[in-house]
A = this chain, B = another copy of it.
Amino acid sequence: MAEATGKTVRVGMVGVGSRGTHLLQTLLQIPGVAVPAIGDINQEHAARAQDLVEQATGRRPEAYTRDERHFEALCAREDLDAVVCATSWQWHTPVMLAAMRARKYGGTEVPAGLTLDELWALVRTSEATGMPCMMLENVNYFQNVLALLRMVREGAFGELLHCEAGYQHDCRFLLFTEDGKLTWRGEHYARLNGNLYPTHPIGPIAWWLDINRGDRFVSLSSVSSPAEGMRRYAAAKFGADHPLAKRDYAHGDVNTTLLRTARGRTVTLYFDCCTPRPYDLIFRLQGTQGIYSGTLDQIYLEGVSPQSDQWEPFGPYQERYAHPLWKDLEAEARRNGGHGGCDYLVMYEFVQAVRRQTPTPQDVYDAACWSAVVPLSVESVAKGGAQIEFPDFTRGQWKTAPRLPITGA
């Protein structure tokens, strides 16, 4: 396997639909990456990905398209260092398990799994094989998120007290096909009521709060509003008599989840993808010395901000506290990557960990912990908002695990 900086990192890519194709393109723009294998049951998608790789590298990767389990043969190849997975949600865990068992680094789109059994399987398999598994949570690499991480570490907010974030994004268009069926994503919404997409908001918060590295989530409570969005959207799109406009959907439109940590800090999470609304991740970060609002992109720090208890723009702070990764890679990130550059950075970090054979910055405990909000919130909603205990995937290691280092490229 590649062992030193400069060595080529060989990645097998499983799932090259819309998101997977984008991640593949990002991957191909990182220096020193080869893609010898592509897996997807959709042959057109696989061929499109083969073309992309061939155009970029001159070598056409082998395709694994035979059936839903063909990724196992891909993972078993001897000429791979890592497997990246961007399938639909229910295949993330099976692909990662196969990758780790075949001694490959695993990198998966979010969420890493949908059930506690899946998430424990990821943890146990990573521990048993010694292979890292990184959930490719890109929002952790937003420019403001990483500058705020530096500010937290340098004490700008004092002791942290509370954070709030949400995946609030009108995604109704992703839930139905044009010809009147549910997409795979829509199927999940139709059967599960809870926070089905927690990792974008909780990932940055977990880094700010040193979750799994000095603190941990101990419990949550979750409630959902009525489920109106999907039925109404289907009625508008397909007509009031269409079966999709008349059926029931499990997923309450606005889900709110409250979490507590071992050190007593609190977190509010929203999941709101079935209503007409502007995009807003919220990102409230609050400590004894001040508060940041992502909704406003403004900040207030006591004794620092010019006017008492008045917001000021965050821009200058983002520059002053620029994270070394952004200092080193801003040009490449902006030129190449989606989502404001963070897709490039998360993929870059994954590739570098593989190249150096080091732990990934988001480890398997993070993947399990951040994704666990899915099954735990579903359980809490079903029990009328009852407090649900949060499993400690680290089994006590959170007390002594060192903080995530703040380092450059």
> Hey, which bits of chain A sit against chain B, CB under 8 A?
158-159, 161-162, 170, 219, 221, 223-226, 228-229, 232, 252-254, 256, 258, 260, 263-266, 268, 272, 275-279, 286-291, 293, 295-296, 300-302, 309-311, 384-387
- Chain B neighbourhood of A252, CB < 8 A: 264, 266
Name the prevailing secondary structure of the A interface residues. loop
A258 and B309: CB pair below 8 A? no
B264 and A290: CB pair below 8 A? no
Whole-angstrom CA separation of A188 from B392 in the bound complex = 36
Partner of A264, one of B161, B226, B291, B386: B226
Partner of A265, one of B221, B225, B310: B225
Ranked nearest first, the 8 interchain pairs of A and B with the lowest CB-CB distance are A276-B302, A161-B225, A162-B254, A221-B221, A226-B264, A162-B225, A228-B288, A277-B291
- Chain B neighbourhood of A296, CB < 8 A: 295-296
* Given A225-B161, A387-B384, A387-B385, CB of A277 within 8 Å of CB of B256: no
Partner of A278, one of B221, B225, B279, B300: B300
Partner of A384, one of B219, B268, B291: B219
- Chain B neighbourhood of A277, CB < 8 A: 286, 290-291, 300, 309
* Given A253-B288, A266-B254, CB of A260 within 8 Å of CB of B385: yes
A256 and B278: CB pair below 8 A? no
Whole-angstrom CA separation of A10 from B128 in the bound complex = 81
Whole-angstrom CA separation of A9 from B303 in the bound complex = 49
- Chain B neighbourhood of A224, CB < 8 A: 266
* Assembly stoichiometry (copies): 2
Whole-angstrom CA separation of A300 from B275 in the bound complex = 11
Whole-angstrom CA separation of A295 from B284 in the bound complex = 13
Whole-angstrom CA separation of A291 from B268 in the bound complex = 19
Distance in angstroms from A282 CB to nearest chain B CB is 10
Whole-angstrom CA separation of A266 from B252 in the bound complex = 10
B225 and A266: CB pair below 8 A? yes
- Chain B neighbourhood of A263, CB < 8 A: 226
B161 and A385: CB pair below 8 A? no
Partner of A311, one of B158, B162, B275, B278: B278
26 examples of A-B residue contacts, CB within 8 angstroms:
A159-B226, A159-B228, A161-B226, A162-B225, A162-B254, A162-B272, A219-B385, A225-B265, A226-B265, A228-B288, A252-B266, A256-B266, A258-B258, A258-B385, A260-B384, A268-B268, A275-B288, A276-B290, A276-B291, A276-B301, A276-B302, A278-B300, A278-B310, A278-B311, A386-B387, A387-B387
Smallest Cβ-Cβ distance to A161: which chain B residue: B225
